[in-house]
Amino acid sequence: MSYTRYEYDVFISYAHADDVRDSSGKGWVEQFQEDLRGFLPQRLNGNTPSVFFDRTTVASNHQLAKLRAAARNSAVLLAVTSPNYAARPWTREELAAFTTNNDWHDGEETRLFAVECLEPDDRDTYPPPLDSHIAMPFWEKHGSISLPLRAGADEYRIRINQLASEIARKLRQIRDTPAAGTRTAPADGAAGRAVLLAQATDDLEEECEQVRTYLAQFKVAVLPAEVYPQGGEAFRAAFAHDLSRAGLFVQLLSASPGRRPPDMPEGYTAWQAAAALAAGVPVMQWRSPELKVDAVGNAEHRRLLGGEHVIVDSLEGFKAAVERQANKPAPTARPAASAASVFIDASLEDLDLARRIQSEITQPSGLPVLSGPPEAVRADLEENMLECDVLVLVNGQNAPFWVRGQLRLYNKLRGKRAAPPKVLEVIVDPPENKEHGMRLEELQRIRVPGAVSRETLKPVLEALEK
């Protein structure tokens, strides 16, 4: 558990090349962070802060995304600088993720700390804002060369205690001033139009980070706060939590349909898009003008690339469009329509009949979505059952168990409603066996002959008007 409201209290950013092992087998940076961890609780009334220190040496886009997310969600960042640090793109990415997503410079104070484990060749080569930041030297000169201070040496202990005092003071200040600037993800129920940036395919990791960084400059909160757990069930749960808080869903698309875990056969890319649409969250998708859709082999992914929400533009143009949409003032709420909203639920066999009924009524109405990821289809069905004023069940060519299953689902959801809707079961003859054995107080069964027309649907239309 962290000491501040952030996920991590201290993020230690360093170049792995500087973690040189001595005769004991322990690296210099590793020993440094262990010593710092040991001194901090003494200055925080015995509280142990949460420190992020990455020991992974394997480079991957997924690992870089995790590091960026951790940096974004840290109270302070401590950079262990050196010529190696200045030359490494990953350390620059960590620093940028922290400074562009946090109000890291609080007036005269700063939440960015820096030490030098080696004398820099040229401080101007450091990435901003380290190029103008005062770093605490942890090196000493030996003739013409510099060496890191030896752990345990008097000067080393003095300086690391001084550093621990300064970091602890800042952590106490952050903890005691909850309103101090943070650009982490909004809490549940927070106001604002948060953007949910979809997990992208590996070839778009850099473009995703550009979108995130760009939006942060305009004070747009971006979800997720950290990398989603991989695997269907865990991923769906984490994504659904963020989707419930998002005001806009943004997805970058490439020619690749992306990974498909065993328990998410449609794949991460398609599932996220379908879930956002089913939830009714505004969707903005992007693909490069250079992408040749006709050359994409996967038919489902081709359809996604050609969808109505896909914007074909430069990435710069798309970023600007997302920012405008995210910061657009919320529309003035209009009074609800007096007419009832009608959800006409039907199986695939009766969908044409459902469309015929819909064409004859004047109330706002909707039909079910019957294709797409099963989870998204189910979510859309449940949402319609929860929000409609009139539920129409078309009992035509489908088997009796279909209506029975829909009524069971409705009965399960009705407790979440403020009041039950009117429920009409439209029984279309033939066939004659329409008994399903379900009885509900609000259920009204209306039989119509097989030759469906406005005249034969008259009892249904009259029931809808009442």
Coil, helix or strand at residue 147 = strand
Task: Spell out the CATH class of 195-326.
Answer: alpha beta
How far apart, in whole angstroms, are the C-alpha atoms of residue 15 and residue 12? Answer: 10
* Cβ–Cβ < 8 Å for 93, 77: no
Higher pLDDT, 347 or 185: 347
Question: Is a pLDDT exceeding 80 seen at residue 346?
Answer: yes
**N-terminal to C-terminal alpha carbon distance within the chain:** 57
What length does the chain have?
466
CB neighbours of 168 closer than 8 A, spacing ≥ 6? 40, 43, 44
- For residue 66, the one-letter residue type is K
Distances (CA, A) of 306 to 207, 254, 310, 437: 20, 12, 7, 45
pLDDT category, 6, cuts 50, 70, 90? confident
For residues 65-93, average pLDDT: 89
The whole-number pLDDT of residue 291 equals 94
Question: Is a pLDDT exceeding 50 seen at residue 181?
Answer: no
Coil, helix or strand at residue 57 = coil
Q: How many CA atoms lie within 13 A of 322 on its CB side?
A: 38
How far apart, in whole angstroms, are the C-alpha atoms of residue 60 and residue 14? Answer: 17
Left if phi > 0, otherwise alpha if psi is -120 to 50, otherwise beta: which for 147?
beta
The residues pairing with 280 across neighbouring beta strands, listed in sequence order, are none
The whole-number pLDDT of residue 182 equals 38
Q: Environment class of residue 465 by beta-carbon count within 10 Å: exposed (0-12), middle (13-18) or buried (19+)?
A: exposed
pLDDT tens readout for residues 389-416? 889 998 888 776 788 888 888 888 887 8
- Was domain 342-465 assigned CATH 3.40.50.300? yes
Question: Is a pLDDT exceeding 90 seen at residue 287?
Answer: yes
The whole-number pLDDT of residue 103 equals 55
DSSP secondary structure code for residue 191 in this structure: -
pLDDT category, 191, cuts 50, 70, 90? very low
Looking at the chain, the whole-number percentage of residues with pLDDT higher than 70 is 88
The whole-number pLDDT of residue 180 equals 37
Structure tokens at 90: 């990953």
The whole-number pLDDT of residue 152 equals 86
Question: Is a pLDDT exceeding 70 seen at residue 13?
Answer: yes
For residues 3-15, average pLDDT: 91
How far apart, in whole angstroms, are the C-alpha atoms of residue 202 and residue 208? Answer: 10
Question: Is a pLDDT exceeding 90 seen at residue 256?
Answer: yes
Question: Is a pLDDT exceeding 60 seen at residue 335?
Answer: no
The radius of gyration computed from the CA coordinates of the chain, to the nearest angstrom, equals: 29
Question: Is a pLDDT exceeding 70 seen at residue 122?
Answer: yes
For residues 68-90, average pLDDT: 90
Question: Is a pLDDT exceeding 50 seen at residue 186?
Answer: no
Number of Cβ within 10 Å of residue 200's Cβ equals: 24
CB neighbours of 35 closer than 8 A, spacing ≥ 6? 151, 160
DSSP letters spanning 222-270: EE-SSPPPSSHHHHHHHHHHHHTT-SEEEEE--S------TT-TT-HHH
pLDDT category, 363, cuts 50, 70, 90? confident
Pick the CATH number of 8-176 from 3.40.50.20, 3.30.365.10, 3.40.50.10140, 1.10.1060.10: 3.40.50.10140
pLDDT category, 220, cuts 50, 70, 90? confident
The whole-number pLDDT of residue 272 equals 95
For residues 339-352, average pLDDT: 81
Same topology, domains 8-176 and 195-326? Answer is: yes
pLDDT category, 337, cuts 50, 70, 90? very low
Helix (H) or strand (E) holding 119: none
Residue whose tokens read 């794949």: 267
Crossing angle, helix 28-43 and helix 154-176, to 10 degrees? 50
CB neighbours of 33 closer than 8 A, spacing ≥ 6? 12, 51, 53
* Cβ–Cβ < 8 Å for 225, 184: yes
pLDDT tens readout for residues 435-453? 767 777 788 888 887 777 7
The residues pairing with 300 across neighbouring beta strands, listed in sequence order, are none
Mean of all residue pLDDT scores within the chain: 83
Q: What are residue 118's phi and psi, to 5 degrees?
A: -140, 150
pLDDT tens readout for residues 142-175? 888 889 999 989 999 999 998 998 899 889 888 8
CA nearest neighbour of 155 among 170, 139, 134, 141: 139
* Domain boundaries defined on the chain: 8-176, 195-326, 342-465
CA nearest neighbour of 222 among 268, 178, 184, 277: 184
Left if phi > 0, otherwise alpha if psi is -120 to 50, otherwise beta: which for 12?
beta
- What does DSSP say about strands 74-81 and 443-448: parallel, antiparallel, or unpaired? unpaired
